[in-house]
Chain A
Amino acid sequence: MQKEAPKIFKVDPKFKHELLKITGAEKIMLCFQCGTCTADCPVALRVNEFRPRQIVEDARLGLKETLFSGDTLWLCTGCYTCYERCPQDVKVTDMIAALRTLAVKEGYIHPSFRMLIDSMAKNGYIYEITDFENELRADMGLPAAPKVNLDEVSKIMKKTGLNKLTGITMEEG
């Protein structure tokens, strides 16, 4: 039987320091790899490649390529079960969100997230409220949903640099 060549991973010891600076990721060094997060995760229960405990370890090792390629990072639903039950208070959910912000900085953004943010810039909502919804509201005797101040949304996105970061186009106010 032929032996499989060992897989080579590129570690980046500096990566964890970058991550530790982000709100929510400050406690990753406290993780003792007990696996509670993975055991209680609704996604890990059904998807083999999604393992929150592994994500913490990969992040500490700086396995950027493993973390950023594919849609692993984007499979977390944000349910906070792991956050609630981690004996070391690692705040895994917030750490995954922090990892996503780093992925975005390096040009990795899940296409579905780009679409949602795009909608936010155009409509002021992740899911647009259209005339159809407002007609339904009218049928029930409700006033139309308040109109978003899009000028303000666009000013925020420009000031924080979100438009440049994600390459989305803004509605001109």
Chain B
Amino acid sequence: MAEALGVELVDMKGSGCCGTTYMESIDHKTGLAMAARNICIAEEMGLDIVTLCNGCFEVLTKVNKILKEEKKLRDEVNGVLIELNREFKGTVEVKHFVKMLVEDVGIDKIEGLIKRSFKGLKVAVHPGCHLLRPSDIMEFDDPEVPIFFDSLINVTGAQSVNYPNKLECCAAALLAVREELASKIALEKVATVKKYADIMVTSCPFCYLQYETSQITASESYDVSVIHLPQLLGLALGLNYEELALYENRIDTSKIKEFL
């Protein structure tokens, strides 16, 4: 899908998980250093980072910003990274895939490349938390009335609808702590979406998994198809069902198939 838009994605050799918000809740300095290690790899490549996950986006953006702005913390973290012969310099940006589409590719350009219309399809977007919040760190879109993700849906001809609690968390982060609660929070949103839209579209793979898995393991059936944004955009850009691995989605995708 990135290729269709003229974007080349390059793997970051040796990179790994930043430990997400779990790590910074255990030990702040380790959290900073783990994320900084990944940023250093991108700095050495001379490329900005693009993440597909809201969690990575939040942690990497926050650490990048803190270490660029606060010399004392930067020195402390570089004191750890020196063991790896690495140094945080503060030369790259961190972007979410959605942010890259909006700021670097441009919604107008994407609109011009649309080959397949989804006119008539009602979509409930789930922006997830960290695409927007904390807004003083993420500095992307309005945290209470966001529009960019919705615009990316609307260019496909589909309609992004408003629904109650649209900005609520998927609670996937609670799965390991209290699974029934995490599923309950997710399913309440799924039930709302069912009333307002044909499908749900996510911008983060963790939210995607959460909405799909919670439905599959629930005793009642909801049958709300969850589609990941690059899949829907990819179809609109003319890619096919197989190329976008839609056969991997575990809830019936017939609402999408009608348009192919």
Which residues of chain B come closer than 8 Å to A14, judged between CB atoms?
none
Contact assessment for B80 and A160 in the assembled complex, using a CB-CB cutoff below 8 Å: yes
- Chain A 125-140 against B: per-residue CB contact (8 Å), 1 yes, 0 no? 1110000000010001
Contact check, A160 vs B29: say whether CB atoms are below 8 A apart: yes
Assess the A47–B181 pair: CB atoms within 8 A: yes
Given contacts A146-B11, A152-B37, A162-B27, contact A126 B171 (CB under 8 A): no
The answer on a CB contact under 8 Å between A77 and B171 is yes
User: From residue 116 to 162 of chain A, which have CB atoms closer than 8 A to chain B?
Assistant: 116-117, 120, 124-127, 136, 140, 143, 146-150, 152-153, 155-157, 159-162
Contact assessment for A81 and B169 in the assembled complex, using a CB-CB cutoff below 8 Å: yes
Interface flags for B48-78 (1: CB within 8 Å of A; 0: not) read 0000000000000000001000000100000
B147 in contact (CB, < 8 A): no
The 0/1 profile, CB within 8 Å of A marked 1, for residues 16-60 of chain B is 110111111111111001100100000000000000000000000
Chain B residues within an 8 Å CB radius of A117: 19, 22-23, 26
Q: Judge whether A80 and B134 touch: CB under 8 Å.
A: yes
Q: Which residues of B contact A80 (CB under 8 A)?
A: 129-130, 133-134
Distance in Å: Cβ of A28 to nearest Cβ of chain B = 16
Give min CB distance, A20 to chain B, whole Å: 14
A74: interface (CB < 8 Å): yes
Using a Cβ–Cβ cut-off of 8 Å, how many residues does chain A contribute to the interface with B? 54
A126–B28 Cα distance when bound, in Å, is 17
User: What residues of chain A lie closer than 8 Å to B184, measured between beta carbons?
Assistant: 46
- Which A94-123 residues have C-beta < 8 A from chain B? 97-98, 100-101, 104, 109-110, 112-113, 115-117, 120
Which of B26, B80, B135, B171 has a CB less than 8 Å from the CB of A84? B135
Q: Is the CB of B21 within 8 A of A78?
A: yes
In the complex the two chains form, is B28's CB within 8 Å of A74's CB?
Answer: no
With the chains together, A10 CA to B243 CA distance in Å? 61
Inter-chain CA distance A157–B30, complex, in Å, is 7
**Cβ contact within 8 Å between B174 and A75:** yes
A42–B26 touching, CB < 8 Å: no
Check: B145 CB closer than 8 A to any chain A CB.
no
B26–A109 touching, CB < 8 Å: yes
User: Are the CB atoms of A156 and B129 closer together than 8 Å?
Assistant: no
Q: Which residues of B contact A112 (CB under 8 A)?
A: 176-177
Chain A 20-32 interface mask (CB, 8 Å, partner B; 1/0)? 0011000000000
Residue of B nearest to A127 (CB): B17
Q: Is A83 an interface residue when CB atoms closer than 8 A count as contact?
A: yes
With A46-B184, A156-B37 as known contacts, state yes or no: A78 contacts B129, CB within 8 Å.
yes
Given contact pairs A126-B20, A156-B37, A100 touches B169 in the complex (Cβ within 8 A): no
Interface residues of B in 85-110 (CB under 8 A from A): 86
Q: Does A36 contact B (CB under 8 A)?
A: no
CB-contact partner of B80 in A22, A74, A125, A159, under 8 A: A159
Does A18 make an interface contact (CB < 8 A)? no
Is B6 on the interface with A (CB-CB < 8 A)? no
B181 engages A162 (CB within 8 Å)? no
Q: 5 A-B pairs, CB-CB below 8 angstroms? A: A78-B21, A79-B133, A97-B24, A100-B25, A101-B25
What 9 pairs between A and B have smallest CB-CB spacing?
Answer: A148-B16, A124-B16, A112-B176, A80-B133, A79-B169, A149-B14, A100-B25, A125-B17, A79-B129
* Besides the known contacts A81-B133, A126-B17, 12 further A-B residue pairs in the complex with CB atoms under 8 A apart: A22-B28, A23-B73, A42-B171, A46-B181, A74-B177, A77-B169, A80-B133, A84-B134, A101-B27, A113-B25, A120-B23, A152-B14
